[in-house]
Amino acid sequence: MKFNLKKKPRIFSVGFDKSFNVKDYGKINVDHTDKEFELLTFSNKKKDYDFGITNWGYYATPSINKRLRNNGYQTFLVKNIYNNIFIMVVDDNKLTKFKKYIEFENQKILSRLDLFENEDDFIKKLILSNKTGRHCKNLKCLNNHKNIHEIFKYIKKPPNEPNYGIKNYKRKVVKCQNCNHFFAIHKINTNKFYKENYSIISHGKNILKKFNKIKKLKSQSDNFHRVNRFLNFFKKYENKKISLLDVGSGLSIFLDAIKNKVKWKLIGIEPDINFVKFGRETLGLNIIHSNLNVKKLNNKKFEIISLNKVAEHIKNPILFLKQCNNLLKKNGYIYIEVPDGLTASKQKKAKYQEEFAIDHLHVFSLDSLNNSLNSSGFKVILIDKIKEKSGKFTLYAFARKIK
Ligand SMILES: [Zn+2]
């Protein structure tokens, strides 16, 4: 083997919200045609981990149930949200750190490998967590009462919530223990909000003032980073003939920020007339005044659909995502952003986190967002959880239409 190590490691970030730095120290070149097998040992406080290089490939680990176990390591077969699998060798003394990492990265331990005794026993135990698949299809979790737990109960408007003038303020938030999706339970008609004066209650009378305030924030605004990750993902399409539909375009701050950066045809669709007028008259954008509606869109199909904090307001997000899927051309993309309920629920005053506001009928987890997209004919390309500049905990995903 030939060592080809860097004096200064290359540093890059991985994991959700790029939370972990990796230092890349370079390469060791090996030759699989060599007659001799080669060995390389990593040592940490006398705990050794051998890596074997053979003329046919690698021994990825020493014997899992003998040498590794005797050296104080447990070995797990782990799956991530994209269904990629890994073998992880865990220091006996660092199990808590490992579990924390697995939880943060939303990974699932499929099996523990170092307890292997014989084949029959192994097959029986192979998939540890068969029963907790985290796979609730079509968000039908509410039907499975065993998994549903009440999380928060409200009898009056939380102090930081806009006043929608609701007379009988009674609502609950429940959570599916399987996929960690949160459901709002109440009889309040939130649909009314959007048609009447949602824009005024949630954004104030002067839409332009609010718009300028956000624009002035520049890199301190959520929209700045949204536009960056969006354009970064679609970089190779910037100059192509593309049509984009932004569903629930609201203040139009997203469409306005990308309009000079791409050569695409941009269309917004929005139920609130004040927002529509503002987008059309002040920003010169093409905004349709409607809920998502095929007829109003003249049966047009799009290459990209964006949903910025919209799906959580919809009664049936699966149906909604399927409608979006139908509006996409073959192999079209969807960009979706929703509140991250699981992370919000772990905060100190979780009950009053804005992720659980009254107008959110659904609050997602990585698993429930992933499952929802899979259930609606999409393949997830990239999914992440982030903390935004505004303090919001958010999930986003880019997915491609496959059905
Ligand atoms: Zn569920």
In this structure, are 253 and 391 located in the same domain? yes
In this structure, are 121 and 269 located in the same domain? no
Does 154 fall in a domain? no
In this structure, are 240 and 371 located in the same domain? yes
What residues make up the domain containing 293? 194-401
In this structure, are 117 and 204 located in the same domain? no
Does 160 fall in a domain? no
CA of 136 relative to ligand 1 center, distance in Å: 4
CA of 172 relative to ligand 1 center, distance in Å: 17
- For the record, the structure tokens of 238 come out as 């910037």
Task: Please state, in angstroms and rounded to a whole number, the distance separating the CA atoms of residues 391 and 177.
Answer: 25
In this structure, are 344 and 232 located in the same domain? yes
In this structure, are 125 and 212 located in the same domain? no
In this structure, are 333 and 227 located in the same domain? yes
Which residues are close to ligand 1, an ion, with C-beta < 5 A? Answer: 136, 141, 176, 178-179, 181
Task: Please state, in angstroms and rounded to a whole number, the distance separating the CA atoms of residues 15 and 30.
Answer: 29
Does 204 fall in a domain? yes
Does 15 fall in a domain? no
Around 168, how many Cα atoms within 13 Å sit in the side-chain half-sphere? 4
Determine the pLDDT at residue 165. 82
CA of 321 relative to ligand 1 center, distance in Å: 17
CA of 148 relative to ligand 1 center, distance in Å: 8
Angle between helices 317-326 and 366-375 (to 10 degrees): 50
Last residue of a domain, one of 78, 106, 132: 132
Does 208 fall in a domain? yes
CA of 226 relative to ligand 1 center, distance in Å: 28
CA of 138 relative to ligand 1 center, distance in Å: 9
CA of 184 relative to ligand 1 center, distance in Å: 14
Task: Please state, in angstroms and rounded to a whole number, the distance separating the CA atoms of residues 293 and 13.
Answer: 41
- For the record, the structure tokens of 44 come out as 């940490």
Determine the pLDDT at residue 204. 66
Residue 168 zone, left/alpha/beta (φ > 0; ψ -120 to 50; rest): beta
In this structure, are 221 and 112 located in the same domain? no
Does 374 fall in a domain? yes
Domain count along the chain: 2
Determine the pLDDT at residue 275. 92
In this structure, are 212 and 327 located in the same domain? yes
Does 390 fall in a domain? yes
Last residue of a domain, one of 132, 167, 184: 132
Last residue of a domain, one of 132, 147, 175: 132
Max CA-CA distance within the chain?
82
Residue 252 zone, left/alpha/beta (φ > 0; ψ -120 to 50; rest): left
CA of 364 relative to ligand 1 center, distance in Å: 10
Task: Give the DSSP letter of residue 131.
Answer: T
CA of 371 relative to ligand 1 center, distance in Å: 9
List, in sequence order, every beta strand (DSSP E) within 92-234.
108-112, 148-154, 171-176, 182-185
What are the start-end ranges of the H helices in 126-190?
A: none
Determine the pLDDT at residue 312. 97
Hey, CA dihedral for 209, 162, 372, 403, is it positive or negative? negative
CA of 346 relative to ligand 1 center, distance in Å: 18
CA of 362 relative to ligand 1 center, distance in Å: 12
CA of 367 relative to ligand 1 center, distance in Å: 9
Determine the pLDDT at residue 202. 67
Task: Please state, in angstroms and rounded to a whole number, the distance separating the CA atoms of residues 27 and 9.
Answer: 11
Query: Residue-wise pLDDT tens for the chain (403 aa)?
Result: 889 999 999 999 999 999 999 999 999 998 887 778 999 999 988 899 999 999 999 999 999 999 999 999 999 999 999 999 999 999 999 999 999 999 999 999 999 999 998 988 888 777 765 555 667 888 999 888 889 999 999 999 998 888 888 888 999 999 999 999 999 999 988 877 766 666 776 666 788 998 999 999 999 999 999 999 999 999 999 889 999 999 999 999 999 999 999 999 999 999 999 999 999 999 999 999 999 988 888 889 999 999 999 999 999 999 999 999 999 999 999 999 999 999 999 999 999 999 999 999 999 999 999 999 999 999 999 999 999 999 999 999 999 999 8
**b/e sequence 76-96, b meaning 16+ C-beta within 10 Å:** bbbbebeeeeeebbbbeeeee
Domain CATH for 298: 3.40.50.150
CA of 157 relative to ligand 1 center, distance in Å: 27
Task: Please state, in angstroms and rounded to a whole number, the distance separating the CA atoms of residues 123 and 314.
Answer: 43
**Contact between residue 287 and residue 280 where contact means Cβ atoms under 8 Å apart:** yes
For the range 31-40, what are the long-range contacts, defined as Cβ-Cβ under 8 Å and sequence gap of 24 or more?
Answer: 31/1, 32/56, 32/57, 38/1, 40/1
In this structure, are 119 and 199 located in the same domain? no
Does 245 fall in a domain? yes
In this structure, are 305 and 381 located in the same domain? yes
Task: Please state, in angstroms and rounded to a whole number, the distance separating the CA atoms of residues 212 and 278.
Answer: 12
In this structure, are 243 and 109 located in the same domain? no
Distances from the Cα of 236 to the Cα of 231, 307, 378, angstroms: 9, 21, 21
Task: Please state, in angstroms and rounded to a whole number, the distance separating the CA atoms of residues 263 and 329.
Answer: 18
3-class DSSP assignment, residue 58: strand
Determine the pLDDT at residue 62. 95
